Amino acid sequence: MIPMARNVFLAALEGRTERIPVWFMRQAGRYLPAYREIRSRKNIQEICKDPKTMADLSYAPVRDIGVDAAIIFYDITLPLQAMDCDVEFVDSVGPIVKTVRKPGEIKKYSKSEDKYALTDGIREFRKSYPGVPIIGFAGGPITLASYVIAGRTDRDLLLTRKKLYEDSAGLHRLLETLNDSILSISKAQTNAGVDAIQIFDSWSGSLSSHEFEDYTREYLKPLFDELSSFTKSIYFASNSGRVLENIATLDVDFVSIDPHTNLTKAYDRLGGGVGIQGNLDSFTAASSAKDALLQTRKILAESKKVDRFIFNLGHGVLPGTPPENLTKVVNEVHSFVR
């Protein structure tokens, strides 16, 4: 079945279609032959300065896997460069912030100082693939703060939480600057033509419930209030099941659910009414097409109780995932009618 046209995808986000839209977090990553081919010639920074390559790579999983929406090829850490942090990518490690600034030294994001082609990449995508939906994104405030503080991925936020107890006022100043920046980045992407914005708060699920209130919800609340005035929004946190009650108070269109949490129970804990995204286990998708399909059918059955639903993984596609496993999952979702 062919992917959804842009207007059908937008209608699906409002729950006005019988078909369920499907895309995968990190769908343009290392598991995809088209990505590996381009990466053999260019590094991530080079790709993200070249609008045509960004557009074509964003489109590759729509063409090769059959997903309904592209996500702009970019990285959550790249805007930190325009905030006075030097970001480098190291193979099999990830992004490294070379100059770790003190919280007060971070500048608010400025588009004119951004050397990457985020908005031009989106405009190029719109021009080359006009009928195809595209999702924009930014990191969440505590997740971006963790890269500034730790200088690299701090998956369990151990270094970031240490900072929280050593210098709470400094962390709040940093979060404020980052939140303003996330809003600017999201507005710029919306003006360039994205259909929705996902906030990747990848590591915020490692906070305790009280920490989440003070250092995450406090910032997400005004952020999503603003976002909802100009775009559709999706909130992703790995391990979101731990903090659903905190998330329930946000004005967000969709909440992404982790694979450890039952969809309908998550919907109830969120107070109902909100859209749900999720939640096939990435490891299952990487390991067994047969089991991925069995789990996909269970998730689709659970989603019947939810008004608005986007099928996705619980977190990103793992590097070793056979692309055909994902194609089978997409076909299963597409053959399901609500």
Residues 305-334 that bind ligand 1CP (CB under 6 A): 316
Stretch that binds ligand 1CP, among 23-31, 176-184, 219-227, 286-294 (CB under 6 A): 23-31
Which CB sits closer to ligand 1CP, 153 or 287? Answer: 153
Residues 6+ away with beta carbon under 8 Å from 290: none
Among residues 19, 26, 163, 308, the one that binds ligand 1CP under rule CB under 6 A: 26
Best CA proximity match to 226, nearest among 247, 202, 251: 251
Among residues 4, 12, 38, 71, the one that binds ligand 1CP under rule CB under 6 A: 71
Count of C-beta atoms within a 10 Å radius of residue 5: 13
Which CB sits closer to ligand 1CP, 71 or 292? Answer: 71
Best CA proximity match to 38, nearest among 121, 48, 116: 48
Task: Give Cα separations from 338 to 1, 241, 274, 307 (angstroms).
Answer: 16, 25, 17, 10
Q: Work out whether 27 is an interface residue with ligand 1CP (CB under 6 A).
A: yes
Best CA proximity match to 222, nearest among 233, 211, 207, 209: 233
Dist CA 268 CA 75 (whole Å): 32
Least distance CB 29 / ligand 1CP (angstroms)? 4
Strand stretches in 148-216, DSSP E: 196-200
Dist CA 207 CA 259 (whole Å): 18
Least distance CB 91 / ligand 1CP (angstroms)? 6
Q: Work out whether 75 is an interface residue with ligand 1CP (CB under 6 A).
A: yes
Among residues 53, 77, 256, 321, the one that binds ligand 1CP under rule CB under 6 A: 77
Which CB sits closer to ligand 1CP, 69 or 300? Answer: 69
Tokens of 44: 């991530």
Among residues 12, 13, 44, 85, the one that binds ligand 1CP under rule CB under 6 A: 44
Tokens of 162: 């240490």
Q: Interface with ligand 1CP by CB under 6 A: which residues?
A: 25-30, 39, 44, 71, 73-77, 89, 94-95, 137, 153, 200, 202, 316
